[in-house]
Amino acid sequence: MSYMEKLLIGTRNQGKVMEFGQLFHSVPYELVSLDDEEITIDVEETGSTFEENAILKAKGYSRYSGLLTLADDSGLEVDALGGRPGVRSARYGGDGLSDKARIELLLSELLNVPWELRNARFCCVIALVSPSGYETIAHGSLEGIIGTVPKGSNGFGYDPVFYLTGRSCTTAELSPCEKNKLSHRGQAANKVFSILNDGLLAT
C-alpha cells in the first residue's frame, strides 16, 4: 500500500471533522484530526476576524505538528444584533454553554424582532498552510433568516434555527450531501479542493 501524506484538520469540533471528511473524501491525503494526532495544545483565537483566526490556527497547528494543516473559522452574523455573535459564535454566552443553550440565548435576544428583520448569514474562512510556508485562504457565506423555533436534527451549532427561504427549511433539516453543496463551509472548501486534489502541493 502506498504512503498517503497526512492533512491535519485543525479542530476539536467533531461536527466540523465529519463535514471536512465528507467534503474532502476524494483528495489524496489521509485526513487526521487534532485528537487523532494526540495534539493537546490549543491555538488561541485572538483575531478580530474569521480570516485572522483561521490563519492563526492553521499556522499554529502546522508549526506544532509539521503537517499540512487546514483550519477554518466560521460563525453566524445576525443583522439585528449588529453582526453578533460573529467570531464569538462558538463561545457565545460563555465557553461552558452547549449548542442548545447558545440557540436559546440567540432566540431570547431576537424575541421581539419581526421575521423581516431577522436576516443572518453563516460565514466561513478556510486557511491551508504547509510547513514549507505555503499559505492560502478561501471564503464562503450563506444567507438566511433566524427562525423562531429550532427545527431539524442534522448539522450542529446554529443549524436548527438557520432558515433557508429558498428551501423552506433550516440547514439542520438538510441531508449532509445537500448541506455540503450549499453551506458556507462547502463553498470555501470547494475553492481549496483543487489545490489538495492535484496532489502536487509542496509541503
Which of 36, 42, 73, 95 is the catalytic position?
Answer: 73
Which is nearest to 71 in space by CA: 143, 133, 124, 144? 124
Strands of the chain, DSSP E: 6-9, 30-33, 68-78, 119-129, 135-146, 162-164, 169-170
Q: Which residue has the cell 461536527?
A: 15
Q: Which residue has the cell 424582532?
A: 113
Strands in 6-9's sheet, in edge-to-edge order, are 30-33, 6-9, 68-78, 119-129, 135-146, 162-164, 169-170
Catalytic annotation on 73?
yes
- Beta partners for 144? 120
Which is nearest to 57 in space by CA: 26, 93, 106, 16? 16
Catalytic residues: 73
